[in-house]
Amino acid sequence: MRKIPIIICLLLISTNAIALSSYAYLVEGLMPSVVNISTLRETLDEDEDIDNVMLNPELDGREALGSGFFVRDDGHILTNNHVISGAQKITVITNDNTEYEAKIIGIDKASDLAVLKISPKDKESFSPAKFGNADDIRIGDIVLTFGNPYGLGVSVSQGIISAKSRNIGIGEQQYIQTDAAINQGNSGGPLFNIDGEVIGINSAIFTAKGASGIGFSLPSNVANWVLNQLITNGKVKRGWLGMTISNGIDRYTGKGGFVITEINEESNAYKEGLRVGDIIISYNDKPAGELNDFYHFTETMDVGQALRLKLLSYGEEIRTVIRIQEMPSEDLRKVTNKALQEANLRSLTNEDAGAYYISELGITVKEANPKGLMILKMDKRSVLRGKGISKGDIILEADRGDIYSVDNLLENIRIAIIDDYRPLSLLIQTIDNTFYVSAEMVAEND
């Protein structure tokens, strides 16, 4: 009797092995939903970022190739914006090699997505792909990617999910990483799970030069939300709080959350009393955990919808409700703290220009952009040593006041020394975190 469970287990393993030996039936069912896209391009947009996308930057006046897939049976197609950007003419080729001229329904540069529409012939209908839930994917899950690599026609490759929530430098979006073969021409094609559901849209490869073994796909949940707005409104309306936040720790209570590092005075958040330095510890009863989860949550809220916040201000717990506003146009949006920090770190190659030594703190700094002082060097006996501060970090505030220049900081130091050498509170921004530290003011003969 003891052998029976073992035999059943072996049979189950054998059955699964057979089921995974071929994806032919799955692929045959999915092929009709995938299309090739050919565009005649005149010029690229001046602000188009082509460093990470799958295009040849020298395609002016030539044909560019990409991919897409049906999302509705009436001919609506989802693809990448960079596939059709600057196109004079867009041609869609279906799986049966029928050609259609497509029109643009809407584009969203922030997610690099676009919706096209072709007109059915003789009351025909198309085969839309089914969206899955990208939140359910796990590292190691098997995936199939479809597309039009190098203009060869619709092709399929198989791989696994290598990582989730990758930031690859294209806006603030997080991407799915896969080792499934993705090459030039795969842009806009679907990434399927083995249930035949779209869990991502192929958007980028590790390098703009050929295959690399690392591809990135925009999660289906983001894509589906953008898609529905583009079809309904022709554009995407994103929720906006008017603030920049980073991970931080409240210096009064030691609790962690999202510290407000910038806030727009025209925002509802500012009008409700939120200020730089306040720390959000929960939103709509969700704990302040991952920054990207918070950004995605608020951006996908409807304009006018209420966001419940619990926050700490000078250690005091406050509850408030903020009405979501529509995000302003892209050119008015602030850069993220991480992008700002990385840009400032790159300026370290010429760190002697504009450098200033502050003896009271034992550090050498230079002005950062748009505000703050970047730390270039730190003495071995600096009062900031051992406080989690490194070269490249930025001093944003001193005693709750914004720092824009060396003179700002020196004035705060002077006041702290006059006030019987009391400690100076500094807000420090690193590449991953923002936190307060206390810098002790020491008399020169001590």
Query: Is the Cβ–Cβ distance between 82 and 64 less than 8 Å?
Result: no
Phi-psi region of 112 (alpha: psi -120 to 50; beta: other; left: phi over 0): left
Residue 343 clears pLDDT 80, i.e. is over it: no
Report pLDDT for 127. 92
Neighbours of 417 (CB within 10 A): 15
Report pLDDT for 63. 54
What's the per-residue H, E or C state across 93-150? ECCCCCEEECEEEEEECCCCEEEEECCCCCCCCCCCCEECCHHHCCCCCEEEEEECHH
Can you tell me the mean pLDDT for 344-367?
Answer: 70
Q: Is residue 121 very low, low, confident or very high in pLDDT (cuts 50, 70, 90)?
A: confident
Q: Is residue 437 very low, low, confident or very high in pLDDT (cuts 50, 70, 90)?
A: confident
- Look up residue 311 and give its two tokens: 């926050």
| 186 Cβ neighbours under 8 A, 6+ residues apart | 54, 66, 67, 145, 147, 148, 149, 202, 215
Name the least confident of 318-332, 357-371, 417-431.
Answer: 318-332
Residue 439 clears pLDDT 60, i.e. is over it: yes
Query: Is the Cβ–Cβ distance between 221 and 227 less than 8 Å?
Result: no
What is the residue type of 242? G
Residue 9 clears pLDDT 90, i.e. is over it: no
Let me know if domain 23-233 sits in CATH 3.90.380.10. Answer: no
Residue 241 DSSP code: -
Domain range summary for the chain, segments of one domain joined by +:
23-233, 239-332, 337-439
Single pTM value for the model? 0.64
Kind of pairing, strands 197-205 and 130-131? parallel
Host H or E run for residue 176: strand 175-178
| Domain 239-332: CATH architecture, name and number where available | Roll (2.30)
Report pLDDT for 60. 42
Report pLDDT for 199. 94
The secondary structure of the chain in percent helix, strand, coil, rounded to multiples of 5, reads 20, 35, 45
Between 39 and 192, residue with greater pLDDT: 192
Query: What's the CA gap between 190 and 66, in Å, rounded?
Result: 12
Query: What's the CA gap between 429 and 262, in Å, rounded?
Result: 12
Q: What 3-state class would DSSP assign to 347? A: helix
Report pLDDT for 14. 38
- List residues with catalytic annotation: 82, 112, 187
Q: Is residue 183 very low, low, confident or very high in pLDDT (cuts 50, 70, 90)?
A: low
Q: Is residue 217 very low, low, confident or very high in pLDDT (cuts 50, 70, 90)?
A: confident
Kind of pairing, strands 175-178 and 99-101? unpaired
Q: What is the mean pLDDT of the chain?
A: 79
Neighbours of 367 (CB within 10 A): 18
The two domains 239-332 and 337-439 share their CATH topology (first three levels equal): yes
Query: Is the Cβ–Cβ distance between 67 and 79 less than 8 Å?
Result: yes
Residue 52 clears pLDDT 70, i.e. is over it: no
Distance from first CA to last CA of the chain, Å, rounded? 83
pLDDT in tens, 369-408: 667 898 998 988 899 988 889 888 899 889 888 888 898 8
Name the least confident of 128-142, 203-217, 261-275, 297-311.
Answer: 203-217
Report pLDDT for 72. 94
pLDDT in tens, 305-333: 999 999 999 889 999 999 999 888 653 34
Residue 219 clears pLDDT 70, i.e. is over it: yes
Query: Is the Cβ–Cβ distance between 148 and 189 less than 8 Å?
Result: yes
Query: What's the CA gap between 196 and 443, in Å, rounded?
Result: 70
pLDDT in tens, 122-138: 777 899 999 999 989 99
Query: What's the CA gap between 118 and 262, in Å, rounded?
Result: 44
Percentage of the chain exceeding pLDDT 90: 30
What is the residue whose two structure tokens read 């529509």?
326
What is the residue whose two structure tokens read 């060869």?
152
Q: Is residue 270 very low, low, confident or very high in pLDDT (cuts 50, 70, 90)?
A: very high
Residue 57 clears pLDDT 70, i.e. is over it: no
Between 366 and 9, residue with greater pLDDT: 366
Q: What 3-state class would DSSP assign to 248? A: strand
Give 337-439's CATH code, choosing from 2.102.10.10, 3.20.20.150, 2.30.42.10, 3.40.250.10.
2.30.42.10
